[in-house]
Copies of this chain bind each other. A is one copy, B any other.
Amino acid sequence: MLTVGVIGCGYWGPNLIRNFINLKDARVKICSDLDENRLEHMKSLYPSLQTTLDYRDIVNDPEIDAIVIATPVSSHYLLASESLQAGKHVFCEKPLTRTTTEGIKLVEQADEAGKTLLVGHTFVYTAAVNKVKDLIISGELGDIYYMSTARVNLGLFQEDINVVWDLAPHDVSIMNYVLNSRPVAVSAVGYSYIQPGINDVAFVTLRYPGSILANLQVSWLNPNKIRKTTVVGSKKMLVYDDISSLEKIRIYDKGVDVIPHYDTFGEFQLSYRYGDISIPKLDESEPLKMECQHFIDCIKGATSRSSGRHGLEVLLVLDAIDQSMAANGSEIEIAYPESLG
């Protein structure tokens, strides 16, 4: 039985508390927030839950095995660092930290402490994303050529981060996860139409090893809400539409085959395949429940889907996107610290 403390009871914290409470391997002992009203609300929902205004009551509690951090990103580094130092496992909401420097330190600290550091990239716990990964890893799609994704809608504008840091973490996390890889370079163009200096539209192309391109469109300025990813492989192609409730993934048995030839002219002969489309039924479990259970599994030794490393790699990509946007699309190579392997 894992004893959990939760720091931050704002928008997302209560969801984490609810899910950990419902797991049979965990109990939530205590939660903290700077706002007494939020603590009272949590108390009314779960009368046996302890509450505190001071997160150090959680960090210093010897009964606590693991700490869940659901606070604004600026406090992530401090809270996670103190928690690891106190010998706790850490589940930290995304993005991992404000800067890549902080992220690198945190990952190293967790490694040294031998503790689990999990980042809340929830999409990698959805049935849809795991179906995409299965189709890629099993080889059913063939060699992956490229992916393109759109994550656009009207609003909600953030005041402290640009649209890339708001929306692209989902896509980068998903792409790294399903490709089991990480991009080597990025070219991106963006602009700030509404708030000076805060890009609200960005067009990004990532280059993964093996000549895999991944194009991302993120925008707070679009008439429609779109969350759509296309994956093109040499054998099959798929479209993953996260807005659709019942038909999230369509697999197209389509492709282009290069026909081998032995003549002297050496012209390419291409053959197009147009086959069936299939729409698999997906499991409808709550991804957050899977994620919380996975945190416990990781503490027991399982390999993490959204480790600190994963979260840090996302940060490094976002950082490189910012650099490329500042350089009008010039390709920026992404330098991963050696400690990441």
Contacts and interface: CB of A to CB of B under 8 A. Distances in A.
A154 B193 CA distance: 34
Contacts of A221: 145-146, 232, 237, 256
Contacts of A159: 267-268
A237 B157 CA distance: 17
Given A154-B274, A328-B185, A328-B331, A239 B223 contact: yes
Chain A, interface SS category: strand
A51 interface: no
Contact of A279 (B205, B239, B278): B278
Interface string A270-311: 101011111111000000000000000000000000000000
A2 interface: no
Given A146-B201, A328-B331, A213 B191 contact: yes
A203 B213 contact: yes
Measured as residues with beta carbon below 8 angstroms from the partner, the interface class of chain A is 35 or more
A278 B155 CA distance: 21
A223 B213 contact: no
A193 B145 contact: yes
A232 B222 CA distance: 7
A221 to B, nearest CB: 5
A223 B252 contact: yes
A32 interface: no
A247 to B, nearest CB: 7
Contacts of A211: 191, 193
Contacts of A213: 189, 191, 201, 203
Nearest to A284: B274
Which of the listed residues A146, A189, A238, A258 has the most CB atoms from chain B within 10 Å of its own CB?
A: A189
A201 B145 contact: yes
A97 to B, nearest CB: 25
Nearest to A185: B328
Contacts of A250: 223
B187 A189 contact: yes
A151 interface: no
Task: List 6 tightest A-B contacts by C-beta distance, closest first.
Answer: A187-B329, A223-B252, A277-B279, A223-B237, A328-B331, A189-B205
12 contacts: A146-B221, A155-B256, A189-B205, A193-B211, A194-B258, A205-B329, A220-B256, A222-B230, A223-B252, A275-B281, A277-B279, A278-B278
